[in-house]
Amino acid sequence: MSEQAYVREAAGKGPSIRSDSGEVASTTAPRWLALLVLCSGLLMIVLDQTIVNVALPSIQSDLGFSQSSLAWVINAYLIAFGGLLLLAGRLGDLIGRKRIFLIGLALFTTASLLCGISWSPAMLVAARFVQGVGGAMTSAVILGMIVTLFPLPRERARAIGVYSFVASGGAAIGLLAGGAITEAISWNWIFFVNLPIGIAAFLTAIRILGTEQGIGLSGGADVSGAVLVTGALMLGVYTLVEAADYGWASLHTVGLGALSIALLAAFVVRQATAAKPLLPLRIFKSRNVSGANATVALMIGGFFGMFFLGALYMQRVLGYGPVEVGLAFLPVALLIGTLALGFSARLNTRFGPGTVLVPGLSLGVAALALLTRAPVEADYVTDILPAMLLLGVGAGLSFPALTTLAMSGATPSDSGLASGLINTTQQVGGALGLSILATLATSRTDAQLSDGVSTASALTSGYHLAFGVGAAFIAAALALAVALLQKRAEPRVESAPESETSQPMIPAVSTRRCP
C-alpha cells in the first residue's frame, strides 16, 4: 500500500487501516475501544508495580519472610520483567503482537491468582517471577500496537497522551489503592483485584484487537542473540537491585556487573554479524530514537528515584500512613491526567515534542530542588505540595513528548524494537537510578547518625542528598535532550514489515533498602 493510501484510510476515508505487515484495524470507534483495552492491561501492570511496595510489611508478617528474603518479592518480578522486555517486543514483531499481548495477559492474571493464594515465601516469589514474565510480554507490545492503530500525528499524539497518563498516573494511584486495600481487607487482595481486570481485558482483546501474523520467526529468530541479551539484562538488573546491599565496590557487584557488560558486548557483536539479528543496529541511526533512550534513562532515574524516596520520607520522617502517602501523591496523578488527556497532544502537535520536553524536564529539576529544602517537621501544603505540583506538570509534559520521540523514527519493521528498547531503557535506568540514590541516602544517614544527629534529622539529610542528585540526573537529561533531540518528530519511513512494543515509564523498583 502506498503512503498516500495508508494515510487516506487512516483518516477515515477507507474502512480500515492495513499496514505493510498485514495488520488490519478499524478506523472509527473500535480503534479507541482497542486503546481502552490496551490501557486496561497496562494499568493492571502499572498498579501492581507500586501497590506491592505498600503491602510489604503485611506480607512479611503474614508469610514469615526474613528481612533479606522480603526483597525478592520485588526483585523476582523486576528481574523477569526487565530482562524479557526486549525479547518480548521482538517476538511481537515476529509472531504477532496481539498473540504476545494475550499470552502475557493470561500469564499475568494467572500468576496474580497464585500470588494471592500463596501460603509460603517460596510460592509467592515464584509466582512473582511468572508475573514478571507476563508483565513483560503484555507491556512490551502495547505502545507498538498504539503506533500502528493511530498513524496520523494528531491522533497518535492523543493516543500516546492516554497511554502516558495510565503509565505515569497509575503509580500514584497504586500507592493509594495499595494502602487502602491492605488496611481495609488484606494484602492478598492487591493481587486478586487483577483477576477481573485481566479476564475482562483478555476477552475484549480477542474480539477488538486486529489480527496480524507478524513477519515469521525466519525474519529474526536469532536464538543466540536472544540468550545473550536476556542473560545480560537479567544479570544486570539483579546486580543493580542488589548493589545497595553488597556495596558498589564489592566483588559481587563489580564481578557480576562486568559479566553483564561482557554479555551485552557479545550481543552487540552478534547483532552486527548475524544474518537475521534480533536487534538490527540500524535502529540506532535515528537521532531521536538513540537520544530519547539516553534521555529516558536519566529522567527515569531522577523522577522515580524521587517518587519512591519521597514516599519513604513521608512514612519514616513525617509519619504518614500508606493511605496518606497515596493522597499526598494524588496531585501528581491528577495533573498528569489533565495534561496527558487534555493538553500534551495539542502541545506536541503544535510545537513539537522536542520543544515541549524542555519545560517539562525543567519543572522536574525544580520539583526535586524544592524537596531538598523540606524540613524534618514539614507541612504538606507549604513544603511538599508545591513540589508535587511541579512534578505533576513536568511529568505530564515530559512522558508523552519522550514517548513520541522514541517511536517517531520507527518503521513498521522496527516499531516493536523501538518500543521494547525504550521499555528496557526505562527499567535499567530506574533500577540504576534508585540504587544510586538509595546508596547515597543510606551513606549520608549513617554518617549523620554516627555524629550523634537524631534519627529524623539523619534520615532527612540522606533524602535531601538523594533528591539533589536526582535533580542532577534530570538536569543531565535536559542537557542531553537539548543537544541531541530534534524539536519535531522524525517522519516514519515505510519499509519491510514488522511490529512494535513498549511499557509504562514506571520502573518496578524496590524501596526496602533505603534508610
* pLDDT tens string 71-125: 677 777 877 787 777 778 777 777 778 888 889 989 999 999 999 898 888 898 8
pLDDT digit string, tens, across residues 289-340: 778 888 888 888 888 777 778 877 888 888 887 778 778 888 887 887 778 7
| pTM of the complete model | 0.74
* Residue among 83, 81, 57 nearest 70 (CA): 57
Q: What is the distance, to the nearest Å, from the Cα of residue 503 to the centroid of all Cα atoms in its chain?
A: 5
Instruction: Note the pLDDT of residue 8.
Output: 36
Lowest mean pLDDT among 171-180, 193-202, 353-362, 434-443: 171-180
Mean pLDDT to the nearest integer, 466-477: 92
In the predicted structure, residue 502 carries a pLDDT above the cut 50: no
Q: Average pLDDT, whole number, for the chain?
A: 76
Lowest mean pLDDT among 42-56, 134-148, 214-228, 286-300: 214-228
Instruction: Note the pLDDT of residue 110.
Output: 93
Provide the grid cell at 41: 492491561
Lowest mean pLDDT among 350-354, 427-431, 466-470, 492-496: 492-496
In the predicted structure, residue 20 carries a pLDDT above the cut 70: no
> Which numeric CATH code is attached to 3-221+276-484?
1.20.1250.20
- Break the chain into its structural domains and give their ranges: 3-221+276-484, 222-275
Instruction: Note the pLDDT of residue 213.
Output: 65
In the predicted structure, residue 396 carries a pLDDT above the cut 80: yes
Show contacts of 374-383: CB within 8 Å, 24+ apart: 374/313, 374/460, 374/464, 375/460, 376/317, 376/456, 376/457, 376/460, 377/318, 378/317, 378/318, 380/328
In the predicted structure, residue 7 carries a pLDDT above the cut 80: no
* Helices and strands (H, E) in the chain, number of each type: 17, 2
| C-alpha–C-alpha distance, residues 509 and 143, integer Å | 21
Instruction: Note the pLDDT of residue 3.
Output: 35
Provide the grid cell at 124: 509467592
